[in-house]
Chain A
Amino acid sequence: MSTVMPVPVTATGRPPAPRRSLRSRRLAGLVLLLAALVGAALLSVAVGAKPIPLDVVWDALVRPDPALEDHIVVGALRIPRTVLGLVAGAALGLAGALIQGHTRNPLADPGLLGVNAGAAFLVVVGIYVFGVTDPLGYVWLAFAGAAAASVAVFVLGSVGRAGATPVTLALAGSAVSALLAALTSAVVLIDVATLDAYRFWAVGSLAGRDGAVLTNVVWFLVAGALIALASAPALNALSLGDDVARSLGHSVRRTRVLGIVAITLLAGGATAACGPIAFVGLVVPHIVRTFTGPDYRWLLPASALSGAVLLLVGDVLGRVLVRPGELQVGIVLALVGAPFFIYLVRRRKMVHI
């Protein structure tokens, strides 16, 4: 059941000194990730329907000139979009690492807790019943829906004696998601105008979100990230199994509840800002584990960094692939992430949910 992968020891790593080599590899990995993040952010600012050379980007950042078209594009469109992608990607990566730790299921994804389905349902209800058409309105509806759905999944998944075990959480998540999806399509089928607004929300995208969207959710994301990073030691204990964690003096229940709160804040906030984006939370922890090992104190920050890189790169790819149009980042990531998921399933000796 455990997600713990054997810590790979380098060819030169002699048994007496594995800590040192592991530590240096972790540091090197973090530095590489930071470099990749800077590169992805620069690409995200420079690439698009109107390509902007990097030196102009630099000028626009250092001494913006409101008279130049390129500088306006950079300042008003590309920078907010890049920052949003960075923050949302980091949140999704963190949420993914958290949910895989809490469910001890290497194939878990925040969508598993019903986050996406709950957000989608309330967005549709908001459009249909209250006539909300403003992206800022979507943000609050989506966040409320995501939070309500994940609380419902947690409560329903805890009805058994053992409490919220990995298996019951996963099953409750898929049941609640299916129910909400059916209700969502019922509303969408009754009203075509709702369908028209909903179908553009339902593909996760960074396009057309202005800075206000980000300022609305950023505090939820910060709070979620702080809870997540603080819970790293407890997650380490939890990955040894509930019984061992309990005997080591950890309150399993409290850790789980805090974990659900953090996942809801992070995944709910990111979904509220960008719409449903799958596979970031699934893929990122696997990539990161290859150099951090199973220690959550390293795994969590590294997951946040690579989540941001992945989302930015996906967004840039979406802008390049179908020029002059745009492929939404949610679709790009599903098309890239699903094959990776299948690769994982084929490569590893599979656990049983």
Chain B
Amino acid sequence: MAVLTKAGPAGSRVPGRPALRRGRFSVVWRPRTVLVLALAALALFAGLVVNIGRGDFPISIGEVVAVLLGGGDRGQRFIVLDLRLPQSLTGALVGGALAVSGAITQAVARNPLASPDIIGITMGASATAVFVIVVGGGFGAVGGLLSSAGLPIAALVGGLLTAAVIYGLSWRKGIQGFRLVLVGIGINAMLLAVVQWLLVVAELYEAARATVWLTGSLNARGWEHVVPVALALVVLVPAALVLAHALGALQFGDDTARGLGMRVDRARTWLLVVAVGLAAVATASAGPIAFVALVAPQIAQRLVGAARPPIAASLLVGAALTVLADVVARTALPAPLPVGIVTAVIGAPYLLYLLARHGREART
């Protein structure tokens, strides 16, 4: 088991911080990170329970907990386990996946604006999904193939393909974070034009359905939506945590990271593969829920007090944020709206707040 040491070998010790050490691997013990993780997990659980309890058929918080622990009557069990739990869980998992994806892209590009929704990955998934909704089986073999695979799979393929195109176009003797963001913005604009054209040629009913999808919605999500995201998280989050140690060196810029003995391009490529996978799977399940990938890592970073967006804290903050936004979207507004609208209405002012704070810092 890991050994808790107060003083490691000279030169590899963080003053005043004990480290868990085991062979080549070590983790610095940060009480604040652990506290933040615990609080975020608590907020996530509270959000889940409240979200499951509220709706046309209200269930009290105590009863929700009882059902989750295996009690409750048949009606309650059906509503909680078959209807509301999968929807809330999809929200939590999708939010977590988007947040981790954002944390990685922000750290790799060293730019808080570099979230997967800004650089066009989610738009790739969206454009494919709208194509399937609007064109359906028509449009020759492409449409038939995509729609027979189902909406989530088609969106996933679209997201991954878009990411590959963005990555390929950004490649010029290596990947530069800023060029990646800008190429992504260009691809994003192009796909947006395709989406708008599809909305114009669509029947009104299909256009409405596509618009809901484009906003990011958790409505009517069942266990079949939970499983793929959960699997992706189980595989990709540990991968992200392992790869994340490279982020520390990448913060100093490519040259320094190379000087420290890192294979910069390989580390960055694998990190981006993980980020793209998470974003594409999340978007395929729930549509492009706005701003979670941008905001959650930034909040987590400030809560933890880290130098870059932390992976684990982003996961929990993103999950909690999305579930709480879903509570608001479903029950606190005059008409139930997709969750993506609430996250955007929270996220955009947060971006402005970052801006204003930046201005004040410049003044002092």
Contact = CB atoms under 8 A, between A and B. Distances in A.
Interface of A: 107, 156-157, 159-162, 168, 171-172, 174-176, 178-179, 181-183, 185-186, 188-190, 192, 195-196, 199-200, 202-203, 278-279, 327-328, 330-331, 334-335, 337-339, 341-342, 345-346, 350, 352-353
12 contacts: A161-B363, A178-B351, A182-B340, A185-B211, A189-B341, A190-B337, A195-B208, A334-B193, A341-B186, A342-B169, A345-B183, A353-B178
Interface in B189-233: 189-190, 192-194, 196-197, 199-200, 204, 207-208, 211-212, 214-215
A182 B338 CA distance: 10
Interface of B: 113, 169-170, 172, 176, 178-179, 182-183, 185-187, 189-190, 192-194, 196-197, 199-200, 204, 207-208, 211-212, 214-215, 290-291, 335, 337-338, 340-341, 344-345, 347-349, 351-352, 354-356, 358-360, 362-363
B56 to A, nearest CB: 19
A202 B200 CA distance: 9
A189 B185 CA distance: 26
A160 B352 CA distance: 12
B196 A341 contact: no
Contacts of A338: 186-187, 189-190, 193
A185 B212 CA distance: 9
Contacts of A346: 169-170, 172, 179, 183
A192 B205 CA distance: 8
B355 A156 contact: yes
Given A178-B290, A185-B214, A189-B211, A334 B182 contact: no
B47 to A, nearest CB: 21
A178 B183 contact: no
B207 A182 contact: no
A156 B204 contact: no
A35 to B, nearest CB: 30
Contacts of B359: 159-162, 168
B189 A175 contact: no
Nearest to A158: B359
Given A195-B208, A278-B189, A338-B186, A178 B348 contact: yes
B207 A199 contact: yes
B207 A196 contact: yes
A345 B113 CA distance: 17
A203 B335 contact: no
Contact of A350 (B182, B215, B338, B360): B182
Q: Which 3 A-B pairs have the closest CB atoms?
A: A160-B359, A182-B344, A334-B193
Contacts of A156: 352, 355-356
Contact of B200 (A192, A199, A345): A199
Nearest to A325: B201
Contacts, number: 146
B189 A328 contact: no
B176 A350 contact: yes
Contacts of B204: 192, 195-196
Contacts of B347: 178
A160 B197 contact: no
B362 A345 contact: no
Given A175-B349, A196-B207, A327-B197, 4 more contacts: A171-B355, A182-B348, A188-B211, A346-B179
Contacts of A176: 348, 352
Nearest to B178: A350
Contacts of A179: 344-345, 348-349
A206 to B, nearest CB: 15
A156 B172 CA distance: 36
A157 B354 CA distance: 11
B211 A183 contact: no
Contact of A189 (B197, B212, B356): B212
Contacts of B208: 189, 192, 195
A219 to B, nearest CB: 30
A331 B347 CA distance: 28
A188 B215 CA distance: 11
Contacts of B291: 178
A195 B335 contact: no
